[in-house]
Structure 1
Amino acid sequence: MTKFFENKSILVTGGCSGIGRGTAIELWRLGANVTALSHQEDNLIKLKNEYPSIEIACVDLRDWDTTREVVKSLGEFHGLVNCAGFIENQPLLDCSPDIFDQTMQVNVKAILNITQIVAKKMITNKIKGSIVNISSQGSMAALKDHLAYCTSKGALDAMTRVMALELGPCGIRVNTINPTVIMTDLGRRAWADPVKAQTMLSKIPLGRFGEVEEAVNAIIFLLSDKASMINGVNLPVDGGFLAT
Structure 2
Amino acid sequence: MTLPKTPSFRLDGKRALVAGASSGIGLACAVALGEAGAEVTLAARRVDSLNALVDKMKAAGMSASALPLDVSNVAATQAAVASNGPFDILVNSAGLARHSPAADTTEADFDVAADLNVKGAYFLTQAVAKGLLAAGKPGSLINISSQMAHVGGIDRAVYCATKHAVEGFTKSMAIEWGKAGIRINTICPTFILTDLTRPTFEDPEKRAWIEDKIKLGRAGEVEDIMGAVVFLASQASAMVTGTSLLVDGGWTAE
Q: What interval of TM-score do these two structures reach, taking the shorter chain for normalisation?
A: over 0.9
Instruction: State how 1:212-231 maps to structure 2 within 5 Å.
Output: 212-231=222-241
User: Do the aligned partners of 1:130 and 1:172 also contact (CA within 8 Å) in 2?
Assistant: yes
User: Contact (CA 8 Å) 2:9, 2:236: kept in 1 or not?
Assistant: no
Match of 1:139?
149
Aligned residues: 244
User: 1:37-70 CA deviation, whole Å, 9 max, x = no partner?
Assistant: 1112221122123234411111222212122112
**Is the counterpart of residue 188 in structure 1 residue 188 in structure 2?**
no
Structure 1 runs (4+) greater than 6 angstroms displaced: none
Secondary structure of the residue aligned to 1:130 is strand
Residue identity over aligned pairs, in percent, reads: 39
Paired residues of 1:2 and 1:30 also in contact (CA < 8 A): no
SS at match of 2:25: helix
Q: Which amino acid aligns with 2:144?
A: I
Partner of 2:91: 81
Q: How does 1:190-205 map to 2 (within 5 A)?
A: 190-205=200-215
**After the TM superposition, which residues 61-76 of structure 1 pair with which residues of structure 2 at under 5 Å, given as runs?**
61-76=71-86
The amino acid of 1:48's aligned partner reads: V
Unaligned runs of 5+ in 2: 1-6
Secondary structure in 2 aligned to 1:54? strand
Partner of 2:184: 174
Tell me by how many angstroms 1:2 deviates. 8.7
Q: Structure 1: how far apart are the matches of 2:95 and 2:35? A: 24
Tell me, yes or no, if the aligned pair for 2:187 and 2:244 is still in contact at 8 Å: yes
- 1:83-140 per-position Cα deviation (integer Å, ceiling 9, x unaligned): 1111121210111111111111111111111111111111122211111111111111
Please tell me whether the aligned partners of residues 8 and 235 of structure 2 are also in contact (alpha carbons under 8 angstroms): no
- Structural RMSD (CA): 1.5
CA contact (8 A) 1:3 1:31 kept: no
* Structure 1 counterpart of 2:53: 47
How far off its partner does 1:188 sit? 2.5
- Kindly indicate whether the alpha-carbon contact (under 8 Å) linking 1:178 and 1:236 is maintained by their aligned counterparts in 2: yes
2:19 matched to which residue of 1?
A: 13
Unaligned runs of 5+ residues in structure 1 are none
Task: For residue 176 of structure 1, give the secondary structure of its aligned residue in structure 2.
Answer: strand
The SS at the match of 2:141 is strand
TM-score relative to the length of structure 1: 0.95
TM-score (structure 2 length as normaliser): 0.92
